[in-house]
Amino acid sequence: MPPPSVEFRRRLRWADADAAGRLHFPRIFEIVEEAEGELLRDLGRPLDLRERTYDFPRVHVECQFKRILALDAPFRLVFTVGRLGRTSIRYDYRVFDASEELAVEGTMTVVVMQNGSPVEIPTALRAALAGEAQ
């Protein structure tokens, strides 16, 4: 079974563009965080802070820009669970332009923490992220 993923399509918004009218580089990380939230929601993981018992701080991000995404241009983002470590989750993302050419790709690694310390990925969360039936 392939790892869980989410995909969404949208246009590069005014707030996402720099003065030259193309993707402003830090905005990709906000878009990726949006995808992470959608993935976790799809997996039935609570986003409500009052119900969460774990934190997921980012410890490493990578991004390679291959093509320009211009203001108001449509794009498609694919966000996937890339690798599960003992206490960490690496997500992979790819962004395709309107011609379906790879425009941006990268990774984001989060560490599972509880009470300020790294902990093993909980069994139910690991199963969900691995795409295993529960």
Domains of the chain, earliest start first: 5-129 (3.10.129.10)
Tens of pLDDT, residues 60-94: 999 999 999 999 999 999 999 999 999 999 999 99
- Average of per-residue pLDDT across 122-132: 90
Geometric angle at alpha carbon 12, from 18 and 47, rounded to 5°: 105
Q: What is the 3-state secondary structure (H, E, C) of 51-80?
A: CCCCECCEEEEEEEECCCCECCCEEEEEEE
Residue 76's pLDDT is 98
Tokens, residue 96: 């395709």
In this prediction, what percent of the chain has a pLDDT beyond 70? 94
pLDDT confidence of residue 52: 72
The closest alpha carbon to 107, from 50, 42, 36, belongs to: 36
DSSP states along 28-49: HHHHHHHHHHHHHHHTT----T
For residue 53, give Cα distances in angstroms to 109, 111, 113.
19, 14, 9
Asked whether the predicted pLDDT for residue 14 surpasses 90, the reply is yes
Confidence of residue 27 (pLDDT cuts 50, 70, 90): very high
| Residue 46 confidence (pLDDT) | 64
What is the arithmetic mean of pLDDT over 94-112? 97
